[in-house]
Chains A and B, each alone.
Chain A
Amino acid sequence: MAVITFDRVSVTYPGASRPTLDEVSFTLPEGDLCVVIGPTGSGKSTLLGAINGLVPHFTGGALRGQVLVHSRDTARHRPRDLADVVGYVGQDPLRGFVTDTVEDEIAYGMEQLGIAPPAMRKRVEETLDLMGIADLRRRGLMELSGGQQQRVAIAAVLAAQPHVLVLDEPTSALDPTAAQDVLSAIGTLVHDVGLTVVLAEHRLERVMQAADSMIWLPGDGRVVHGEPAAVLAVANLSPPLAELARVVGWSEVPLSVRTARRRAQAEGLVPAPPEPAGVPQAPVVLAARTLEVHYGNLKAVDRVDLDLAAGTVTTLLGRNGAGKSSLLWALQGALSCGGTIDVRGKDPRRLSAAEARRLVTLVPQTASDLLYLPSVGAECDQADRESDAEPGTTAGLLRGIGVDVPPDRDPHDLSEGQRLALVLAIQLAARPPVLLLDEPTRGLDYLAKAQLRGIVRKLAGDGMAVLISTHDVEFAAATSVRTVLMADGELIADGPTADVLTSSPAYAPQLAKVFAPARVMTADELVRGPA
């Protein structure tokens, strides 16, 4: 029985030149896990919002056609009236929290529905158990980790016992383990509880195999709905397994590592192993010894020794809470820390902010924090002033990165990738020898990530030492030559990317797992072997 039906739905926002969704029709049967994919700005959020009525009741805009959810027409029901049918979890769960403890948050939805206190009590317990967060019951919401917050947000909408669950990018901010927890919880909901789940996701690697159907939005207003393997074959998104299929010439994209591996072995595909690449020798630009960062009793960085060599790209991997951000900020000289840091003979901690910036520059997690002027041109001019560079340097850098935006555009109207490029250009205006990037891949789609990869490689080619902290193992595999693993404040591995990543299953890229024990990092390294 179809639980969600879109019948020739078009959505046009006020002031937009063309419709975001154009004559979209599909149905979803009950109990399906449907993954919505598409580049940024293609209308995924609009599609998800239309399911629970936020579009058009909350966001404005004109909706033509009909959306039926569990036989209710969203045109005639406000989102609050659909709360017992559709549970919606937005992109940033922390922003959607109304109360400040876990238990109250879960009870909130039920309070709004007027459920009696004893029934509420029972349901809260059930939901806590279902999501595996029973021990977090009295914790404050702000103290939880990203994965825990996400699970609490899901639990909060589950408490109303809806039939459909809609999730907008649930794992974008999570490290692989936390993402796995959330996805398995969702899997339980689909298979054991029988919910219908629709989720939008950029990073498909983990979620592809669990999906029952996929919806691809190419960006021109239409949708392509079908079996995951078929949709991925036409979609121009490239998760690693899709890349593999493309390179090797398979018509169907394998959805899991196991499927790919079996097929590869059945076809006798033998990758030509690339030469073991060591880390290229290059002059050391930044040398840090016995770095220590303390927050009260907590040791965030514990006697770390790190060297960064010119022209090399290094990635820093580790789960949330391992101290990656603290290490990066410490290297920039912005934190009080023990130990020594030497960048071309100077210690960035002892320099003023403006001078330190010329030695080591950092692009923080929320890159848009650095932007505050009303236009791109104003930001570039300000950056030139701040770095004592020639006027036009920053704008030139921005163009060199490959981003071409008119200077009067408001930075808030740029896409994620463009904003990141703008911030990069601003920070590079001072031409520092060392660049640090803190989780730049968060929220970027495959295309933007490929562009970032190109930018970083070019910068390294110009002699800059780049250190990137990320969760995205595929990005690390494709971009860097050296990888450093961090856990509990210490560096636990440091070596060539191929060696470090393939040494543990948690961090191995998908293609390495497919072709193990041969060390294949990316699809580019594949050569079709004899059949």
Chain B
Amino acid sequence: MAVSGTTNPLLLALIATAMLVVVMLRRSDAPWARSVRAYLMLALFVIGMRVFFRIVLGGSQGETVLFALPSIPLPAWAAGIQLGGAVTAEALTSTLYEAFRLAVMLLCVGAANALANPRQALRSVPAALYEASVAVVIALSVTPQLIESAQRVRRARRLRGDSTTSLRAMASLAMPVLADAIDRSMALAAGMESRGFARTRGLPVRGTLPMMLASSAAATMGVFLLLSTDYLLVAGWLLVGGLVGVALGLRAAGARLRVTTYRPAPWRPVETLVAASGLLAATVVLGLGWLDPDLLAPAVAALLDPLALTPATDPLEWPRITVPMLLVVALVLAPLPLTRPRRVRAIASTRNDTRVRLLRAEPPEPEPTWR
């Protein structure tokens, strides 16, 4: 969120590096944590795409012309679109700034993925969503089993001399795996049923649904107003009120479920601090963005220098670093001293007689990245 308030590339670069450092040192070893690289790729791709479009479709604001593409006239229905034409440095830089910001936002999402543990969050789901969370837990547990089953079937097919990888072969692989999946679901359901699943579930409390619907309508209205008007206050209150209403409704709806949680995850003070540092960083940036420099005393203005957050591109000027920016970067790095690295436990599997991989004259199949 902090990133969205600024387009200063230096600050963005610093934030990005800080995030990556935190991720490298603190990430858990779960599958979703390994996709940071994928996010980097995606981020670069986005930057590239944005620049491409800007060049091709109208990048001629400003004065410093870098180069010029031939201008291609378009038919009338596409009027208003400009293909080609001069490309200016201002246009390119402004696009680069925007694209960079988006890229860093994506990286932040990736970092959040790497550091968070959604499984823990699944345990603290409101009781009304208990069944849905059970479905998710089942899906998460069954996925690696199904993959192993699919690999096994593929190995077995090769034993029959069937080494085609065509679409038909894949389809003929898919059906037994699917049939196996359905059988598995039956066995799983029998197990769950035998162990008392849904034993203590009563009916949802009356009156919760209308309340939740009304609250969600209020929230939708709030967002609508937020988008289309400037009645910020009304919109804000509607939105917040709606969200709170739904949350209360969900809590009440689940009241009849007497399923307890083994070892509910406590929210430790460390976690509060980490969350606070992130929130603080966001506030600093957004707050500075709203400040009007003319209202502040000149000394304070020089120190805070809110305009540096969005370096102008027309006319072009070099971006600057200011003190508040450094503060923001420090806040991003804050989780490092506050948390301990999660030690990766290497567990030797004892079932190595079934981990038979097929490594024939073709390149080895990529090891699935989930366990």
Answer yes or no: A and B touching, Cβ < 8 Å. yes
Question: By DSSP majority rule, is chain B's interface helix, strand, loop, or mixed?
Answer: loop
Which residue of B159, B193, B358 contacts A58 across the interface (Cβ within 8 Å)? B193
Quick check: A124 and B162 within 8 Å, CB to CB?
no
Q: Return the contact of B350 from the options A107, A143, A386 (Cβ within 8 A).
A: A143
A169 CB to nearest chain B CB (Å): 13
B157 & A143 in contact (Cβ 8 Å cutoff):
no
Our pick among A81, A87, A99, A143 for the contact of B137 (Cβ within 8 Å) is A99
Q: How long is the Cα–Cα vector from A121 to B199 in the complex, in angstroms?
A: 21
Q: Chain A contacts of B326 at CB under 8 A?
A: none
Q: Which of A110, A156, A366, A383 contacts B156 (CB 8 A)?
A: A366
Asked whether A115 is an interface residue with its Cβ less than 8 Å from the other chain, the reply is yes
A335 B358 Cβ-Cβ under 8 A: yes
Cβ contacts under 8 Å, A427 to chain B: 159-160
Cα of A140 to Cα of B199 in the assembled complex, Å = 27
Whether the Cβ atoms of B153 and A353 lie closer than 8 Å is: no
A112 in contact with B145 given A145-B350, A145-B351, A298-B352 (CB within 8 Å): no
- Measured CB to CB, the nearest residue on chain A to B194 is A88
Residue of B whose beta carbon sits closest to that of A147: B350
Rounded to whole angstroms, the CA-CA distance of A300 and B360 in the bound complex is 17
Residue ranges of B at the interface with A (Cβ–Cβ < 8 Å) = 134, 137-138, 140-141, 144-145, 152-153, 155-163, 172-173, 175-176, 179, 184, 187-200, 258-264, 347-361, 364, 371
Is there contact, CB below 8 Å, between A336 and B360?
yes
**CB <8 Å contact, B358 and A116:** no
Q: Collect the chain A residues with CB atoms within 8 Å of residue B198's CB.
A: 80, 112
* Residues from chain B with Cβ under 8 Å of A352 in the complex: 161, 163
Q: Of all chain A residues, which has the CB nearest B258?
A: A114
User: Bound state CA distance, A374 and B305, in angstroms?
Assistant: 74
- State how many angstroms separate the Cβ of A180 from the closest Cβ of chain B: 17
* Complex-state Cα separation, A298 to B349, whole angstroms: 10
Binds B, one of A35-43, A251-259, A324-332: A324-332
A144 proximal to B (CB < 8 A): yes
Q: Enumerate chain A residues within 8 angstroms of B175, measured Cβ to Cβ.
A: 372
Query: Which 4 A/B pairs are nearest by Cβ-Cβ distance?
Result: A96-B191, A83-B196, A369-B156, A354-B161
Instruction: State whether the Cβ of A84 lies closer than 8 Å to any Cβ in chain B.
Output: yes
Q: How far is the CA of A104 from the CA of B138 in the complex (A)?
A: 13
16 inter-chain pairs at a CB distance below 8 angstroms, sorted by A residue, are A58-B189, A90-B191, A96-B188, A98-B188, A99-B141, A113-B196, A114-B258, A116-B260, A117-B263, A321-B353, A325-B356, A326-B353, A334-B360, A335-B356, A336-B359, A353-B360
Contacts of B144 in A (CB 8 A): 142
- The answer to whether residues A58 and B190 also contact, given A112-B199, A353-B163 and a CB cut-off of 8 A, is yes
Closest chain B residue to A91, Cβ basis: B187
Q: Flag if A295 contacts B355 (CB, 8 Å).
A: yes
Cβ 8 A contact of B263, one of A121, A139, A349, A364: A121
- In the bound complex, residues from chain A placing their C-beta under 8 Å from that of B141 are 97-100, 141
Question: How many residues of A are counted as interface, with CB atoms below 8 angstroms from the partner's CB atoms?
Answer: 91
Q: Complex formed: what's the CA distance from A114 to B358 in Å?
A: 46
**Cross-chain contact A80 with B187 (CB below 8 angstroms):** no
- Closest Cβ of chain A: how far from B4's Cβ, in Å? 36
Cα distance, A526 to B42, chains bound together (Å): 75
Asked if A426 is at the interface (CB within 8 A of a chain B CB), the reply is: yes
Q: Which residues from chain A sit less than 8 Å from chain B, CB to CB?
A: 52, 54, 57-58, 78-81, 83-84, 86-88, 90-92, 94-100, 103-104, 107-117, 120-121, 124, 139-146, 148, 156-157, 160, 295, 298, 300, 320-326, 329, 332-336, 349-350, 352-354, 356-357, 361-366, 369-372, 383, 386-387, 412, 426-427, 430
CB of B28 to closest CB in A, whole Å: 14
The reply to whether B262 and A361 contact each other, CB–CB distance below 8 Å, is no
Residue in B134, B137, B260, B348 whose CB lies within 8 Å of A120: B260
Q: Could you tell me the distance between the alpha carbons of A143 and B342 in the complex, rounded to whole angstroms?
A: 20
Q: Which residues of B contact A372 (CB under 8 A)?
A: 157, 172-173, 175-176
Check B359–A335 contact: CB distance below 8 A.
yes
Q: Which of B192, B199, B260, B353 has the most CB of A within 10 A?
A: B353
Contacts of A365 in B (CB 8 A): 354
A365 and B200 CA atoms in complex are apart in Å by 41
Contacts of A99 in B (CB 8 A): 137, 141
Q: Which of B190, B263, B353 contacts A324 (CB 8 A)?
A: B353
Q: Quick one: closest A residue to B153, CB to CB?
A: A369
The complex places the Cα of A113 from the Cα of B199 at a distance, in Å, of: 7
The complex places the Cα of A209 from the Cα of B55 at a distance, in Å, of 84
Who on chain B is nearest to A146 by CB?
B351
**CA A412 – CA B175 in complex, angstroms?**
13
Contacts of A92 in B (CB 8 A): 187
Contact A83 B260 (CB under 8 A): no
- A354 to chain B: closest residue by CB: B161
Is A111 touching B194 in the complex (CB atoms < 8 A)? no
CA–CA, A87 to B191, complex, Å?
10
Q: Given contacts A96-B188, A334-B158, A370-B157, are A80 and B264 in contact (CB under 8 A)? A: no
Q: Which residues of A contact B137 (CB under 8 A)?
A: 98-99
Query: Given B152, B153, B197, B350, which contacts A80 in the complex, CB threshold below 8 Å?
Result: B197
Q: Are A113 and B200 in contact (CB under 8 A)?
A: yes
Q: How many Å lie between the Cα of A131 and that of B47 in the bound state?
A: 57
- Identify which of B189, B199, B359, B371 contacts A83 (C-beta below 8 A): B199
User: Which B residues touch A349, using CB under 8 A?
Assistant: 360
A residues within 8 A CB of B347? 139-140, 143
The answer to whether A370 and B199 touch across the interface, beta carbons within 8 angstroms, is no
B196: chain A residues at CB < 8 Å are: 80-81, 83-84, 109, 112-113, 160
Query: Are B352's CB and A108's CB within 8 A?
Result: no
Distance between Cα atoms of A321 and B184 in the complex (Å)? 25
Q: Which residue of A lies closest to B148 (CB)?
A: A142
CB distance from B182 to the nearest CB of A (A): 12
| Nearest B-chain residue to A337, judged by Cβ | B359
Chain A: minimal CB distance from B104 (Å): 34
**A42 CA to B96 CA, complexed, in Å:** 73
Q: How far is the CA of A332 from the CA of B197 in the complex (A)?
A: 46
Task: Give 14 A-B pairs besides A160-B196, A334-B158, A370-B160 with Cβ atoms closer than 8 angstroms.
Answer: A80-B193, A90-B187, A95-B187, A100-B141, A112-B200, A116-B260, A143-B349, A145-B351, A148-B350, A157-B195, A295-B357, A321-B352, A357-B161, A370-B157
Min CB–CB distance A439 → chain B (angstroms): 10
B161/A386 in contact, CB under 8 A: yes
